[in-house]
Amino acid sequence: MRRSQHKHSARVRVLAIAVVAIAASGTVIGSCVFDTKTNFCEKFGLRCKEGQECAANQAVCIEIGGCGDGITGNNEICDDGNIIDGETDDAGVFIPDQCSHDCMSNQQCGNKNIDKGEECDDGSDNGSPTGICDNRCHKVNRVCGNGVVDPNTPEECDPGEMDSTGCNSNMAGSASCKPSMCGDGYINRAAHEMCDTGIGRPDAADCNGMLCTSPACGDNYLNMVAGEECESSRLDTQNCNGKPGGPASCRSTRCGDGYINTAFTPSGGIDPEECDNAGGGDTTMCNGNNHGNNGPGACRHPTCGDGYTNSALAEQCDTLGGADSRTCNGSGAGSVKCKLSSCGDGYQNDTAGEQCETAGGVDTSSCNGSGAGALACRNSRCGDGYKNATAGEGCDDGDADTMNCNGSTAPMKAKCQPPKCGDGYVNTKAGEQCEPAADGGDTAACNGVGAGAVSCQFSVCGDGHVNTKASEQCESDADCSPSKTCNMCQCTP
C-alpha cells in the first residue's frame, strides 16, 4: 500500500540521527553500543549490530531472518519488508499496509483478526443483517443493507444488500437507504437507471440528465452534449436525420453529410436527396453540394439538364431543363452537351448566336470559322468585315469600298476583292474614275489598263497616255514624224 513519502523520509532521518547520537555517546563513555562485529546496510546507510540486518523496505534493524526481511517464513502469515502496520494519511485516516508489524496478519478485513485501524472483525459474518461488524470492520448496531428500516436512523427504506426498484442499497453513499430518484447521483440499475449525473440532472455525453438514460438517437430527448442537433423519433424529416443515419443520426440535414435522407430537399433544390457524397464532392454517380451552395440537382443522380454542373462528369455548364443558353449547350448537343458553347464544337447553338457550324472551327465557303471573332460561326457574307478566303474573298473591309477593298456593291467577281483596273468596278476610294473596255483596252472616255499611272482615269489630252480611242495621235513631239509637231494631241506640220 502507498505510504506518505514525507513521513517515510522523516522516519529515515530520525533513525539516522539516532544512530549517529548513539555512536557519539559510545565514544564519550569510551565504549561502543554495538559489538565490534556489525552489519552495514548500504540501502539505507544504516549499521546494525551482529545478528541483525536491515529490513527489506524500511530503515530499521531486525533480527536476521525475522519479520521485515520480505520473506514469509517460520510461523509468519506474511512479510512485506517492514515492521509497521501502515500509516495515517493527511485526513487522519489510518491506511493499513499488506502485513502487520509482527508479520502475523495480512490486515484484511474479514480475516477474523482485529488489526490496527479495525474496530471488529467477525470474518464471514461481517456485514450480515444481524451482525455487529460491517464489511469495513467497523462496529455497527444496525446498518443500511440489513433489509430493515432501522429506527432512529436516517434510513427511509432498506432493500437489503441489493438495490430495488424503489430503494437504493448501502452502495449509494449519502443516498443509501433512500428512495431511488433520478438526480441523486447514484445509478440504481434495478430502477432502470443507466446513468445519473446528480443534482440538477445536467446532460452529459453519456447520459440524458433528466431521464437517467443513455443517449440514443430516436429517444425523443435532445441531448446536445452528446452531439445531437435534433430529434425526430427515429424518422427522417426535412430538418433532421433519423436513427438510420449512422454518424449523421440526430443531426441537422445537410447535402454532403454522407447520409441519404429522402425526406430532405437541399436549399434551392427541386427534389429530395437520392444520393449523398460525404464531404459534398461530385462523383460520376452523384452530384455534390456545389461547394456548399446546393441549388438544383444537389445530392441527385447527375444528368445534363438538372441545373447542376458536375465536375466529375467534366460538365462545364448545365442549364435547368436542358435547353441551350447563350453560353451553354443543352442536353440535345450530343457529345458536347453541358459544355460551354464554342464555334467549332460541331453543334450549332442558335441561342448563342451561331448561324452555322464548321468541323474543327475552320472557314468554309458558307460559314466563318472560329477565327472570325465576333463573326465566328456566322454565315459568310461579303461586307461582314471578315475575310473568308475559303469563300473566295480576297479582302473584306465591310460593305463600303475602301482604297484596299471593293465593297459588297461591286459585281460578283469584284466584290470583296482588292481593287484592280479592269475588274469591271469603279472603286473611287482606290482612285479609279472609270473602267476600260471589257478587254482592258482604252475607250473614248477612259484610259485602259495599259495606261500606267493614268489607268482607269478619264482620258485627257496631256495625261501622258496616247488614247487613240479618244482620237489622240500624240502626247509629245516624240509621238510625231520629224516634220510634224504635237499640237493638242494632234500631229500637225
> How do residues 388-437 score in pLDDT, each as one tens digit?
999 999 999 999 999 999 999 999 999 999 999 999 999 999 999 999 99
- The b-or-e profile of 288-315 (16+ CB within 10 A means b, else e) is bbbeeebbbbbbbebbbbbbbbbeebeb
pLDDT for res 146: 83
92 vs 488, which has greater pLDDT?
488
Q: Is the pLDDT of residue 139 over 60?
A: yes
CA–CA separation, 119 and 136 (whole Å): 9
Q: Average pLDDT of 143-169?
A: 89
Q: Is the pLDDT of residue 370 over 80?
A: yes
Pure H helices in 283-340? none
Residue 151 DSSP label:
T
Q: Is the pLDDT of residue 22 over 60?
A: no
**Which tens digits make up the pLDDT trace of 62-112?**
999 899 899 998 889 999 999 998 888 888 888 888 999 999 999 999 999
CA–CA separation, 149 and 170 (whole Å): 12
- The b-or-e profile of 148-170 (16+ CB within 10 A means b, else e) is eeeeeeebebbbebebbeebbbb
Confidence of residue 36 (pLDDT cuts 50, 70, 90): low
Q: Is 37 left (phi over 0), alpha (psi -120 to 50) or beta?
A: beta
pTM: 0.56
Q: Is the pLDDT of residue 46 over 80?
A: yes
Lowest mean pLDDT among 27-31, 102-106, 206-210, 314-318: 27-31
The amino acid at residue 293 is N
Q: Average pLDDT of 155-162?
A: 94
- Percentage of the chain modeled with pLDDT above 70: 92
Lowest mean pLDDT among 136-140, 317-321, 366-370, 467-471: 136-140
- Percentage of the chain modeled with pLDDT above 90: 75
Q: Is the pLDDT of residue 315 over 80?
A: yes
Q: Is 185 left (phi over 0), alpha (psi -120 to 50) or beta?
A: left
CA–CA separation, 409 and 395 (whole Å): 14
Direct distance between the N- and C-terminal alpha carbons of the chain, in angstroms, rounded to an integer: 156
Q: Is the pLDDT of residue 19 over 80?
A: no
- Calculate the average pLDDT of the chain: 89
pLDDT for res 361: 95
List Cα–Cα distances, 142 to 134, 146, 153, 346, 480, in angstroms: 9, 7, 9, 100, 164
Q: Is the pLDDT of residue 263 over 80?
A: yes
pLDDT for res 335: 95
CA–CA separation, 330 and 341 (whole Å): 9
The residue length of the chain stands at 493
Return the residue matching grid coordinates 496616247.
Answer: 466
Lowest mean pLDDT among 33-42, 81-90, 185-194, 343-352: 33-42
pLDDT for res 92: 80
Confidence of residue 130 (pLDDT cuts 50, 70, 90): low
**Which tens digits make up the pLDDT trace of 208-238?**
999 999 999 999 999 999 999 999 989 999 9
pLDDT for res 40: 84
Confidence of residue 460 (pLDDT cuts 50, 70, 90): very high
Q: Average pLDDT of 141-166?
A: 86
Q: Which residues contact 310 (CB under 8 A, 6 or more apart)?
A: 282, 284, 287, 288, 297, 302, 318
Q: Average pLDDT of 339-353?
A: 97
